[in-house]
Amino acid sequence: MNSKRQGIIEIIIATLIWGTLGIIVRSIELEAGTVVAYRSIIAAPIMVFLLLRQKHWVKSIKSGNYKLLMLSGIAIAIAWTAHFSAFKLTSIANTVTLLYTGPIYVAILAPLLLKEIREKKANLCLILSMLGILLIYNQGLGNELSNRGLLFGVLSGILFAFVIISTKILSKYYSSITIVGMHIIISALVLSPFLMVEQKMIIDNIILLLVLGLIHTALAEFLYIDGLVKISAQKAATISYIEPGSAIIYAIILLNEIPYELEIIGIGLIGLSNIILNVKSTDILKIRKR
């Protein structure tokens, strides 16, 4: 198997694993912050082991943009907490779709923060995604818990965008393992107060917490990073949309959680905006020629 094909398979496996996050989080009878804290603390030793295999990694952290690295670690801790809170308060379809508004915000902010050329279609994508969010939100009006869940979902998307942008900057100074490892370690430290819960509650949920920490965090993150090295970032971003698609399918099959009409339209608009943003006309022409 060549390196490129292996990279594609690794990213597909990672996104399919992440697609089950909503089911796992819903099944754990703990607060979202506690779930994220244990997710991070369980995965942290593995990431520390991987970091220690890199020579002079402590020195490299100090010599790079370590302030931004710390800030992005805090941001991802809050983003994960908001994302998991949304899972518990609104539908899985809404939660994963709102998280994937992040790339739209990146397309708008990247020219300002990364000095990249802004594509004209980015503005159209932002309008479509905002309209999609309004339709999803309108479906949840009158339900206070659902509305809170939608707000957490939007917050996770905004913070996800910040993490993407900061990671692009940090990649000039650090390896992918260093960035992800420090994100997980910082997340564990930031959310450590959430670890103080009744021992019986942890014991009752320990299997799912181990699955979340070892499979959904350590393994899936490693597969995604390893795959990302072997294929282009654009291809990886396109494959990543397997995650929200699979998450919605899992929710329909396992939880009988079928989106309402306006939700379907809203989800469709956000999905369309991401397709417009990520798929280039040259790629479509190549497909048509085959």
2: left (phi over 0), alpha (psi -120 to 50) or beta: beta
Which tokens go with 224?
A: 């995604």
The C-alpha atoms of residue 221 and residue 224 are separated, in whole angstroms, by: 5
Dump pLDDT digits (tens) for 202-228: 888 999 999 999 999 888 878 887 787
Q: How far, in whole angstroms, is CA 159 from its chain's centroid? A: 10
Angle, vertex CA 15, rays to CA 57 and CA 260, nearest 5: 135
The C-alpha atoms of residue 92 and residue 98 are separated, in whole angstroms, by: 10
pLDDT value at residue 284: 41
Nearest to 33 by CA among 152, 130, 143: 152
Buried b (16+ CB within 10 A) or exposed e, 64-96: bbeebbbebbbbbbbbbbbbbbbbbbbbbbbbb
The C-alpha atoms of residue 248 and residue 198 are separated, in whole angstroms, by: 32
pLDDT value at residue 280: 60
The C-alpha atoms of residue 117 and residue 26 are separated, in whole angstroms, by: 41
The C-alpha atoms of residue 172 and residue 170 are separated, in whole angstroms, by: 5
Dump pLDDT digits (tens) for 219-260: 887 888 778 777 766 567 667 778 888 888 888 888 888 877
Mean pLDDT of the chain: 80
pLDDT value at residue 234: 59
Which stretches of the chain score pLDDT less than 50?
141-142, 283-290
pLDDT value at residue 127: 78
pTM over 0.95: no
